Amino acid sequence: MQMLLPRAITSAALACTLARLLSPSIATAQEPPVARLVAGKPYDEHVRKHPPVSGGDILGVVIGEGAAATGAESIFVRTPAKWAGGHVCVEVASRDGIYVAANTFDVPAAPAGSFVKLAFSSQHADLYSAATPDTFAARAAIGDCGDTDNRLLPLAWSSAAGAAAGSRLVMSVQSGQTKASVVVSPDDRHERCRRLQGPGPSLTAFDSVCEMPLPSSDVKVFVERCSFGSCTRAPIVTLAL
């Protein structure tokens, strides 16, 4: 004999089911976090006719390949452990130093290893969509532009490429016509840099790229330049992971 439930119970159950199905917080996936320019400022970028030779050490820290390889036209910043949100200065430079950009983003709190999209609109989107590690450098430092500390956050041209298994860090450096390496502390492991060759833009901003496996936690690194048996070491920076 089939047992019928009271109408009041079946109506309540149906209403509860419909509420769960129609609730936006459950029925739709949560939007990924987005970092926006502080104070609603326009994207600060410049094209220079006579760029100076870069005096910087590590001009770029990017995970994986460039935008041209991933089909990306944006940049993602990877949040470190215990990231509670804050300002991050993102700097971008073309290899020839003609194009430069420096902007402070408000990066929201996110779990460690999250890829937060930087929301911006460039007047030179074609440069970003064609970027490769050999032609474009991008780096992020914790703090406001002009007032950052020595902690760098990796960037990625796409969240998928950045999170791929076996991802590697690609660093852009200016060797100053020397043999350059990135040295990882505290074990003094040397990651030899590859000097850029062949046709293409001049090597004004950076002239070498260095690769290393993506570390699982914070590491300290510095650039070592050697010439004629003598080596110099640049200041130490921390890769915040």
236 token code pair: 């130490």
Instruction: Locate the DSSP E strands across the chain.
Output: 34-37, 45-47, 58-63, 76-78, 86-94, 99-107, 115-119, 136-144, 147-153, 155-156, 168-173, 179-185, 189-195, 208-213, 219-227, 230-233, 237-239
Ranges of each domain in the chain: 33-239
CA angle 125, 131, 135 (to 5 degrees): 125
Q: Which is more confident, 8 or 128?
A: 128
Dist CA 208 CA 214 (whole Å): 19
What does the mean pLDDT of the chain come to? Answer: 85
**Segment among 18-27, 71-80, 115-124 with least mean pLDDT:** 18-27
pTM, entire model: 0.84
Mean pLDDT across 122-133 = 91
Mean pLDDT across 213-241 = 94
Residue 21 has a pLDDT of 40
How does pLDDT run across 83-127, given as a tens digit for each residue?
A: 999 999 999 999 999 999 999 999 999 999 999 999 999 999 998
89 token code pair: 């200065």
Most confidently modeled range among 12-21, 45-54, 97-106, 123-132 = 97-106
The band of 55, judged by pLDDT with boundaries at 50, 70 and 90, is low
Residue indicated by tokens 């293409």? 200
